[in-house]
Amino acid sequence: YIRSLLRYRIDAGDSMLANHLSTASKTATYISKTTQNELIEIYGDLIREQILAEVKHATFFTIIGDETTDVNTIEQFTFCLRYLFENKVHEKFISFLPAEDRTGEGLARLILEEIKNLGLNPNFMVGQAYGGCSAMSGKFKGTQLTVMRGVGRQMYRPNAPAQTPEEYYRVNLFIPIMDHFIVSLTNRFSAHQWMAYHVSILVPSMIEHKSFNDLKDSITFYKAYLPSPNLIKEEFQLYKRK
């Protein structure tokens, strides 16, 4: 590609470049594969520095990652960043990372090390997005959770998905709280609790307005614990007259 660009430049009228390539010795043309690779690395470093400057200006960023295999069949992790700069959302490729350990913890460690090497603050990472195909689901299992634990700010929760903050609050907060409240009320005011409550009619301030029939269900329920259940009615009438 670099040779093609050089030819394109010469065709555009760059006589100095044309003279250099036509008169320089073979060892001084500076277009060998070694020089080309060095130039590509320099260009890459300059572009990466510009991207990182934009990310730091934006403050917050999201990681986008996927897996690929290079020509040497080495597994590579594709590390990209998503951020907002000048009111526009940008998604930029940053680097290929050799992924020798493709477990969730291994990929998380690789990601955290790259964030550190790039000079970014992991506390400003607000999201993660990884390859969603079925072949990748196992490799990225646990990566998201492990990364957030690694930065000391676990944001991932197995909550129900929601499209709006209102829906999120309703599904993940309000409904579970109400469900817990209803279950607690059910347990507190169970059949046993109601039976115990009916016994309170024996309180002097209440017995005057109650009859023995109001006590029958409670007597039946607690019959096995009463010393003389057959005498309860007479005791009730006597207690009521007092």
| Tens-place pLDDT, residues 84-130 | 999 899 999 999 888 777 777 788 888 889 999 999 988 888 888 87
Share the mean pLDDT of the chain.
78
* Torsion sign across C-alpha atoms 48, 54, 56, 61: negative
DSSP structure string for 74-112: -EEEEEEEEEEETTEEEEEEEEEEE-S--SHHHHHHHHH
* Mean pLDDT, rounded, for 158-167: 69
Q: Which residues pair with 66 in a beta bridge?
A: 78
In the chain the domains, ranked by start, together with CATH numbers, are: 58-150 (3.30.420), 191-241 (no CATH)
Looking at the predicted structure, is the pLDDT value of residue 242 above 80?
no
Looking at the predicted structure, is the pLDDT value of residue 180 above 50?
yes
Looking at the predicted structure, is the pLDDT value of residue 157 above 70?
no
C-alpha angle 215/216/221, rounded to 5°?
105
- Cα–Cα distances in angstroms (integers) from residue 206 to residues 99, 197, 233, 236, in the given order: 78, 12, 17, 13
Looking at the predicted structure, is the pLDDT value of residue 164 above 70?
yes
pLDDT computed for residue 148 by the predictor? 58
Q: What percent of the chain has pLDDT over 70?
A: 76
pLDDT computed for residue 104 by the predictor? 74
pLDDT computed for residue 139 by the predictor? 56
Q: What is the pLDDT of residues 12-65, one digit of tens each?
A: 888 998 888 888 887 788 788 888 888 889 989 999 999 999 999 999 999 988
